[in-house]
């Protein structure tokens, strides 16, 4: 059936005009287009379907899940391992410090220094050593003041002595 005829049969005013004005060439082109779509659809619909694509997708999905599970399990294992190892690490770091703190000049050597608690003397000795070290660092720094800064350094020294007197 021609599109001109369809246009005449329908009662739509404006569209009828448009469809009545269809040139024979446009009319033919529309009919051929319809035939092509019909033939294309029929061919495609009746062709055998391949089932390979979904299988590959299932395989990909399974691989993705397996990889995700492995990563999660790895992360959890690493976390637990690290958590358990942490106290041991801390103990290992503290171990060399304990004999130094425990040994006092003139005191008897302790057979199990790591098990004994620190005494007051030990703490005082450590503090003294720290103070000596700091004093040494101070003197080193003060010696390193360049000549151009000498007047300023003297002023600071004067201020400190003044503060000490007051």
Q: Is residue 102 within 8 Å of 111, Cβ to Cβ?
A: no
DSSP H helix total and E strand total for the chain: 7, 0
DSSP assignment of 5-72: HHHHHS--HHHHHHHHT--HHHHHHHHHHHHHHHHHHHHHHHSPPP-HHHHHHHHHHHHHHHHHHHHH
6 binds other proteins (CB under 8 A): yes
51 binds other proteins (CB under 8 A): no
Which residue from 5, 8, 42, 150 is in contact with other proteins, where contact means CB under 8 A? Answer: 42
Which residue from 5, 8, 29, 86 is in contact with other proteins, where contact means CB under 8 A? Answer: 29
3-state secondary structure of 83: helix
DSSP character at residue 118: P
Please return the burial class of 125, using the count of CB atoms within 10 Å of its CB with bins 0-12, 13-18 and 19+.
middle
14 binds other proteins (CB under 8 A): yes
32 binds other proteins (CB under 8 A): yes
CB nearer to other proteins: pick between 50 and 147: 50
152 binds other proteins (CB under 8 A): no
3 binds other proteins (CB under 8 A): yes
CB nearer to other proteins: pick between 46 and 115: 46
Q: How many residues bind other proteins (CB under 8 A)?
A: 29
Residue with tokens 């006092």: 104
97 binds other proteins (CB under 8 A): no
145 binds other proteins (CB under 8 A): no
Residues that bind other proteins (CB under 8 A): 1, 3, 6, 10, 12, 14-15, 18-19, 23, 25-26, 28-30, 32-45
């Amino acid at each position: 059936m021609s599109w001109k005829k369809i246009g005449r049969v329908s009662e739509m005013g404006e569209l009828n005009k448009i469809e009545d004005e269809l040139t024979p060439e446009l009319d033919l082109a529309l009919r051929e287009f319809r035939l092509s779509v019909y033939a294309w659809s029929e061919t495609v619909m009746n062709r055998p379907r391949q089932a390979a694509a979904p299988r590959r997708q299932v395989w990909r999905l399974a691989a993705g899940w397996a990889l995700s599970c492995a990563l999660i399990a790895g992360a959890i294992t690493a976390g637990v391992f690290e958590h358990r190892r942490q106290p041991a690490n801390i103990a290992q770091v503290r171990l060399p410090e304990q004999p130094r703190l425990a040994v006092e000049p003139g005191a008897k050597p302790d057979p199990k220094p790591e098990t004994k608690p620190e005494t007051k003397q030990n703490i005082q000795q450590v503090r003294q050593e720290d103070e000596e070290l700091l004093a040494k660092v101070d003197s080193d720094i003060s010696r390193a003041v360049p000549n151009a800064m000498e007047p300023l350094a003297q002023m600071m020294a004067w201020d400190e002595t003044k503060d000490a007197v007051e």
